[in-house]
Amino acid sequence: MDIYSTFKDFFKIFQTKLGLVFAIGLPLFFTVIWMTGYDGATERIDQLTVGIVNQEGADSETIVESIETYVPFQTEQYADLTKAQEEMDDGELVMIVSIPENFINDANDGNSELTYYINQANSEIALAIAESSVAQITSSINKGVFTDTDEAIVSTNIVKTNSINNFAVTMLPMILGFVTYIGVMTMNIQFNLSSMFIQKNHTKYQIFWGRQLLLLLVSIFGSLIVTSVAMLFADTVASFWQMWGFHILVYMASISVTQMSFALFGGLGALFNTALVPLQLMTAGNIIPADMLTGFYRHLGNFLPASNAIQGYMRLIYSGASISPFIMNLLLITVVTLGVSLLRLYSSELSFKQKIKAKPETT
């Protein structure tokens, strides 16, 4: 009987109910989000884009038409290989097919070669799809263009760009981007409790701005410590200062988002923050390209801190391509979510003052 009474008492406590929601709701949320987001992803490889660089000109137009006909991707033509490589480093292209000068003459001599450029700073799914399509493209040209011979006229040259041999380095985007969000989320749970403990002796505004000062110091020095240690193990394209500066923004955006949830939902904010975990993992683009997700999720990562962080680090670590879009996204996320927290603080304080004024005086 005492055990049953204790069992019932557990359910009188809010944290018990919240714990049950986490235990059942989180895996359920993962299931719903990932099953709907990844549904039919392998059937949407036509959303990926391959660049075609025709360095021979009009003589190889039939080759270009053959590639566009047989590849299962979207295609885009480039006059310059350098421009195409810049687009690939920016994540716009999954692969480049380069047709060299004198391609047709070399083919007539039985010595022709197509060069395929594949960016290693891409998701494993995208790399596998690109590499598996190389043989298909070359074979289609041999059979569809050079039909007067049974021999394989065109050979293949695969150039893998932005390669990193140390597997540990490939984990850095997830560590610095996603794990930072998890760490900050856990920190803000504890800071939210700390704010409750000191609210008897301090006003809401004092607590809020004192907390912002503490969070700013965490952003600067936390990122400094983590980035410094990470750079001991990794040889990145970007400099230490670029890595550190970007990590400060990642910290600030993650802090502002997780803090906002507590301002809006109170104790349930932890559940909201956790609900963003599967969304950020899915939309980051390092597991599967975002273009292959279902429509609703395709651009959702632009509004989430870890998704932008991972994509930014993919470029900082591998290619050194511009990360300006991700910097802007992180700054906007920080400003908007911090603004929401401030508005919520102001409205709650105003509501409290109105209740005090409306309360009848006691004699």
Say if residue 361's pLDDT is above 60.
no
> HEC profile for 143-207?
HHCCCCCCCCCEEEEEEEECCCCCHHHHCHHHHHHHHHHHHHHHHHHHHHHHHHHCCCCCCHHHH
What residues contact residue 24 under an 8 Å CB cut-off, 6+ apart?
Answer: none
- 127 CA to centre of own chain: 17
Q: What is the mean pLDDT of residues 254-280?
A: 89
Question: 75 pLDDT band (50/70/90 cuts)?
Answer: confident
More confident residue, 241 or 139: 241
Nearest to 330 by CA among 267, 280, 278: 280
Residue 158 has pLDDT above 60, yes or no: yes
Which class for 26: exposed (0-12), middle (13-18), buried (19 or more C-beta within 10 A)?
middle
Three-class DSSP category at 273:
helix
Q: What percent of the chain has pLDDT over 90?
A: 22
pLDDT in tens, 95-121: 898 888 887 777 776 677 888 898 887
Instruction: Please give the domain boundaries of the chain with CATH numbers for all domains.
Output: 16-38+167-354 (no CATH), 48-161 (3.40.1710.10)
Is the Cβ–Cβ distance between 277 and 298 less than 8 Å?
A: no
Confidence of residue 216 (pLDDT cuts 50, 70, 90): very high
**Residue 317 DSSP one-character state:** I
Handedness of CA 259, 265, 266, 268 (dihedral sign): negative
Q: Hey, which bits of 200-325 come out as E strands?
A: none
Contact 244, 211 (CB under 8 A): no
Model pLDDT for residues 300-318, shown as the tens digit of each residue: 889 999 999 999 998 998 8
